[in-house]
Amino acid sequence: VYRYASALAGNVAKAKRTGLPYHVVPMNPHSPIAQMFPFWKSLFKLLPRRYWEDIMPVLMSDWHFRDNYKVFEKLGDVFLVACPEKLILYTANAEVIHQVTSKREAFPKPVQVYKILSLYGESVLATEGAVWKNHRKVTAASFNEKNAALVFAESIKQTEGMIDQWIGADRQGNRTIKTVEHDTMALMLHIIGYVGFGLRLVWPGQSLPPDADARQAKYAALEPPAGHTLNFTQSLEKTLEKILLLLLTPRWLLKHLPFKATKVAAEAEENFVKYLDEFLHDKIDDVKNGDKEVGMDIMGQLARTSYGEDSTSKKGSKLSKLSDSEITGNAFIMIVAGHETTANTIHFLLLELANNPAAQRLLQRDIVNIFGDTDPSSWDYESSVNALMASMAGACMNEMLRMMPPVVDIPKEVANNDQVIVKDGEKYHLPQGVHIGLVATAVQRNPRYWPTKPSKVAGNNSDSDIHDFVPERWYRKAEEGHDDSAEVEGADTENYGGFEGPDTSAQLFRPVRGSYIPFSDGARSCLGRRLAQVELISALSVIFQKYSLELAVDEWATDAEVEAMDRTQRAALYKKAQASSRKVIASASSVLTLKLHGDKFVPVRLVPKGQERFVDWVDS
Ligand code: HEM
C-alpha cells in the first residue's frame, strides 16, 4: 500500500509540475489487470463525483471513437492522467501532435506495446533505434511508385472479382449483400497476398490464368497442398481472425485448451507458419538461381537484400542483412498492418456512400470524367493517380479516414530526457517516461481545425457537420491564418524511406499539420500509405464507374412493395435505412483496429447504374 501510494503521489507531483491539466486515477487503465477486472471503476465511483465524473469516459476501453473530441472539449486539448504506474498524456492538439511526430528520438514509439506483434520475428513496426532504422531502410525499398502501379493493376483485378461475387451470374445485381465486411476483408487479403508475396489469389469460381506457374497454383489452390490441412487463404484468414488469441496465449496452452476457437487458431497458425517458411525458402532459391525481380513481392525483395549480390540501398549506404526470422517477421507485419486497416476503410466507405447518395453521385461523375467508360484493365496508374487523388475519390477516402481512422490512438513516449512541448505559445516540460496518446479520432474532429457547416443529417439539429461523413468538406476553403506547414524546432532531418509526398492532394483542403494523422506522421509514419491510398481509390473507381450502391431496405419493405411506392414513400423508407445504418457504424470499436465487432452488419445492394431504386435521386 505504501509503494502504491508513494508511486501515485510521485506521478501526481510530476503532473502538477508540468503545468498541464491532470486527473488522478487509482489504476493504469492500459494494464491487463485493470482491463480484466473492470470493477475497480465501480470502486472509484464510490469517491465524490468530482474525482471521477470528467475522467471516467477515458477509463473505458472503447472511448476513442465513441467519445472522440467530446472528451477533450471538457478536459482540454492536452491533459494528463496520473496513476500509480505512470503518467499518460492524451492530446487532440495539432501543434503538439506535430511536435511529437517530428522528433522521433525525443518521442520514440513505446515498443513494449507492440512486442506481442514480434511473434514470427522482429520487424519494422515493433522495433526502435538502430534496429528499426535498418528494418525501415530495407523494407522501404519495396514501397516505390513502380510497385504502386503494380498494386493499382492488381487492385483493379481483385475488385472486379469482388463485384462478380456481388452481382451474380445474371449480372443484374440488386441482391441483398450482408457480407460487405467479410468480402472487403477478402479483397484486401488478396491484394496484400500480392504485395507481401507476389501471389495471385482467386475468388470462388475464378481460375488462375493458364500461364500461372506451379507455385502460384499451389498457393492459390482451393484444396490444401501436400503437408497442409488448410489452403493458404484459409490459413491466413483464420490466423488474422484469431490474431489476438494467438498473440496472447502461450503455445503450450493453446494446443491443450478444449475450445473450438483455440483449436481453429492452432490449426490456422500451424499451416500459416509452414507457408511462411516455404515462401521464404522459395524466395531464397529464386535469389540463388539468379531469378530477377518480378512484380511486387516484399518477401522476395527482403530475401534479395539478404541473399543477393547487391545488398546496397539506393542512396548508396550498405544495409545490414535481415536474418530469416526478421524477413518472416516483416512479411507477417506487412500483412497485419496492411490488411484490416485498408479493409475497414473500404468497408465503412462503401456504407457511407450508400448513406450519402448525393456524394455517391458526385463520385460517379468524377470517375466518369477521369476514365469515361473505358475498361478498368486499360487504366493507367501514372496518368490517372493525381487526378483521382484530387477528385471525389480522394475526398471520400480522406473523409473516411478523418471520421474513422483505423488506428485510433498512436502511442509515443518521452525518451530518456525531459522534453519540452509548446502549445499556444506556452512551454510545458514533460518528464521522462510519460506515455503519450495521439488521439486521431479526436484531433480529426477538433472544430478548431476543420471547416464545418450546419449538419444535414436528419434528426441531427447541430450547427456543425464535423461528426458527419461529408467528402465535400475537402473542397471547402481553409480559415484565414490556417497554416499547414509549421516548422518544428529540432525536427528529424534524416530520411528513413517511404513515400515522401503529402497525405492529401494539393488541390483539396490541406489540413493543419498534426490535425490529420490516419497514417501518423514523420519518420515513423505508415510505410504503406501510398499503397493503401492506391488500393482504396482504385477499388472505389472500379465499383462506382458502372454501379451504384444502395442500402438494402428488406427489413421494412419487400421488393414488390418498393416497386409500388411513390418517391415520397421511397424517400421516407430510405431515411429509415440510413438511420439504422448510421447507428450500426457508430457502434464500431477498436481492439486492434476500428471495426464492427460481433455479428453487426449493414446490408446493401449493388445495382448497375440506371437501375437504382433510390440513390440516383434521394438527397442525402
Ligand atoms: C488505410 C490503411 C492504413 C492505415 C490507416 C495505416 C495506418 C498506420 C499508422 C497510424 C501507423 C503508425 C502506427 C504507430 O506508430 O503506432 C502505421 C505504420 C505502419 N504501416 Fe500502415 N496503415 C495502413 C495501411 C498499410 C499498408 C497497406 C501497409 C503495408 C503494405 C502498412 C504498413 C505499415 C508499416 C510497415 C508500419 C510501421 C512503420 C514504422 O514503424 O516505421 N500500412 N500505419
Confidence class of residue 221 from pLDDT cuts 50, 70 and 90? confident
Q: What is the pLDDT of residues 478-520, one digit of tens each?
A: 776 666 666 788 888 888 777 777 888 989 999 999 999 999 9
Ligand 1: residue whose CA is nearest its atom 35: 527
Ligand 1: residue whose CA is nearest its atom 37: 125
Distance from the alpha carbon of residue 538 to the mean position of ligand 1, in angstroms: 19
The pairing of strands 604-608 and 176-177 is antiparallel
Burial of 341: CB neighbours in 10 Å, binned 0-12, 13-18, 19+:
buried
Distance between CA 488 and CA 535 in Å, rounded?
Answer: 32
pLDDT, averaged across the chain: 92
pLDDT, residue 319, reads: 63
Answer yes or no: do 112 and 168 share one domain. Answer: no
> What is residue 109's DSSP assignment?
-
Distance from the alpha carbon of residue 65 to the mean position of ligand 1, in angstroms: 19
Which of 271, 298, 331 is a domain's end point? 331
pLDDT, residue 251, reads: 84
Model confidence, pTM = 0.95
Answer yes or no: do 188 and 260 share one domain. Answer: yes
- Name residue 312's beta-bridge partners: 318
pLDDT, residue 356, reads: 97
Confidence class of residue 312 from pLDDT cuts 50, 70 and 90? low
Element (H, E) at 74: helix 68-75
pLDDT, residue 19, reads: 96
Answer yes or no: do 151 and 274 share one domain. Answer: yes
C-beta of residue 571 within 8 angstroms of C-beta of residue 136: no
C-beta of residue 345 within 8 angstroms of C-beta of residue 400: yes
pLDDT, residue 367, reads: 98
Confidence class of residue 293 from pLDDT cuts 50, 70 and 90? low
> What is residue 518's DSSP assignment?
T
Distance between CA 550 and CA 612 in Å, rounded?
Answer: 8
Confidence class of residue 170 from pLDDT cuts 50, 70 and 90? confident
> What is residue 423's DSSP assignment?
E
Closest CA to 338 of 190, 233, 228: 190
Answer yes or no: do 111 and 164 share one domain. Answer: no
Which atom of ligand 1 is found nearest the CA of 135?
41
Which atom of ligand 1 is found nearest the CA of 192?
30
Of the given ranges (403-417, 457-471, 574-588), which has the lowest mean pLDDT? 457-471
Question: Residue 465 above 90 pLDDT?
Answer: yes
Which atom of ligand 1 is found nearest the CA of 406?
5
The pairing of strands 176-177 and 409-413 is unpaired
Instruction: Report the amino acid identity of residue 3.
Output: R
Distance between CA 101 and CA 438 in Å, rounded?
Answer: 9
pLDDT, residue 430, reads: 97
Confidence class of residue 149 from pLDDT cuts 50, 70 and 90? very high
Ligand 1: residue whose CA is nearest its atom 21: 526
Distance between CA 11 and CA 120 in Å, rounded?
Answer: 36
Ligand 1: residue whose CA is nearest its atom 26: 338
Confidence class of residue 33 from pLDDT cuts 50, 70 and 90? confident
Distance from the alpha carbon of residue 592 to the mean position of ligand 1, in angstroms: 12
pLDDT, residue 484, reads: 61
- The answer to ipTM > 0.90 is yes
Distance between CA 26 and CA 34 in Å, rounded?
Answer: 10
Distance from the alpha carbon of residue 519 to the mean position of ligand 1, in angstroms: 6
Question: Residue 619 above 80 pLDDT?
Answer: yes
Instruction: Report the amino acid identity of residue 254.
Output: L
Distance from the alpha carbon of residue 580 to the mean position of ligand 1, in angstroms: 31
Of the given ranges (70-74, 112-116, 324-328, 605-609), which has the lowest mean pLDDT? 112-116
Ligand 1: residue whose CA is nearest its atom 19: 526
**Residue 616, domain member (yes or no):** no
H helices present in 429-522, as ranges: 440-443
C-beta of residue 182 within 8 angstroms of C-beta of residue 162: no
pLDDT, residue 216, reads: 80
**Residue 147, domain member (yes or no):** yes
Q: Which residues of 89-128 are buried (b: 16+ CB within 10 A; e: fewer)?
A: bbbbbbbbbbbbbbbbebbbbbbeebeebbbbbbbbbbbb
Answer yes or no: do 159 and 257 share one domain. Answer: yes
**Residue 338, domain member (yes or no):** no
**Residue 267, domain member (yes or no):** yes
Question: Residue 247 above 90 pLDDT?
Answer: no
**Residue 310, domain member (yes or no):** yes
pLDDT, residue 243, reads: 85
Answer yes or no: do 293 and 220 share one domain. Answer: yes
Task: State the first-to-last Cα distance of the chain, in angstroms, to the nearest integer.
Answer: 58
**Residue 620, domain member (yes or no):** no
Mutate to test the pocket of ligand 1, among 64, 438, 526 (most ligand atoms within 8 A of CB): 526
pLDDT, residue 99, reads: 97
Q: What is the pLDDT of residues 263-289, one digit of tens each?
A: 999 999 999 999 999 999 999 998 888
Distance from the alpha carbon of residue 440 to the mean position of ligand 1, in angstroms: 14
314 alpha-carbon distance from chain centroid: 29
Distance between CA 75 and CA 551 in Å, rounded?
Answer: 38
Question: Residue 35 above 60 pLDDT?
Answer: yes
pLDDT, residue 554, reads: 97
Ligand 1: residue whose CA is nearest its atom 11: 526
Taking residues 92-120, report their average pLDDT: 92
Question: Residue 340 above 90 pLDDT?
Answer: yes
Confidence class of residue 175 from pLDDT cuts 50, 70 and 90? very high
Answer yes or no: do 97 and 179 share one domain. Answer: no
**Residue 512, domain member (yes or no):** no
C-beta of residue 318 within 8 angstroms of C-beta of residue 334: no
Answer yes or no: do 210 and 79 share one domain. Answer: no
Q: Tell me the residue range of the domain where 104 lies.
A: 2-117
Distance from the alpha carbon of residue 444 to the mean position of ligand 1, in angstroms: 18
Distance between CA 410 and CA 436 in Å, rounded?
Answer: 8
Which atom of ligand 1 is found nearest the CA of 405?
5
Confidence class of residue 209 from pLDDT cuts 50, 70 and 90? confident
Distance from the alpha carbon of residue 527 to the mean position of ligand 1, in angstroms: 6
Distance from the alpha carbon of residue 582 to the mean position of ligand 1, in angstroms: 27
Taking residues 38-59, report their average pLDDT: 92
pLDDT, residue 525, reads: 95
Which of 117, 151, 186 is a domain's end point? 117
Answer yes or no: do 94 and 148 share one domain. Answer: no
Distance between CA 45 and CA 42 in Å, rounded?
Answer: 5
The cell 472505389 sits on which residue? 540
Distance from the alpha carbon of residue 313 to the mean position of ligand 1, in angstroms: 22
Ligand 1: residue whose CA is nearest its atom 6: 519
Distance from the alpha carbon of residue 518 to the mean position of ligand 1, in angstroms: 9
More confidently predicted of 98 and 112 = 98
Share of the chain above pLDDT 70, in %: 97
The cell 418517391 sits on which residue? 567
**Residue 385, domain member (yes or no):** no
344 contact partners, CB below 8 Å, separation of at least 6: 184, 404, 406, 593, 594, 595
pLDDT, residue 379, reads: 98
440 contact partners, CB below 8 Å, separation of at least 6: 64, 405, 407, 408, 409, 410, 517, 518
pLDDT, residue 115, reads: 81
Instruction: Name residues contacting ligand 1 (CB within 6 A).
Output: 109, 124-125, 136, 195, 333-334, 337-338, 341-342, 345, 405-407, 410-411, 518-520, 524, 526-528, 531-532
List the grid coordinates of 230.
488448410
C-beta of residue 41 within 8 angstroms of C-beta of residue 56: yes
Question: Residue 310 above 90 pLDDT?
Answer: no
Which atom of ligand 1 is found nearest the CA of 345?
1
Distance from the alpha carbon of residue 373 to the mean position of ligand 1, in angstroms: 34
Answer yes or no: do 76 and 180 share one domain. Answer: no
Question: Residue 573 above 90 pLDDT?
Answer: yes
Answer yes or no: do 300 and 165 share one domain. Answer: yes
Indicate the number of domains in the chain.
2
Question: Residue 415 above 80 pLDDT?
Answer: yes
Taking residues 118-134, report their average pLDDT: 92
Half-sphere exposure of 442 (CA within 13 A, CB side): 27
Answer yes or no: do 100 and 172 share one domain. Answer: no
Secondary structure percentages of the chain, helix, strand, coil, to 5? 50, 10, 40
Q: What is the DSSP string of 169-226?
A: TTT----EE--HHHHHHHHHHHHHHHHHH------TT----TT--HHHHHHH-SSPPT
Which of 56, 88, 117 is a domain's end point? 117
Distance between CA 115 and CA 275 in Å, rounded?
Answer: 23
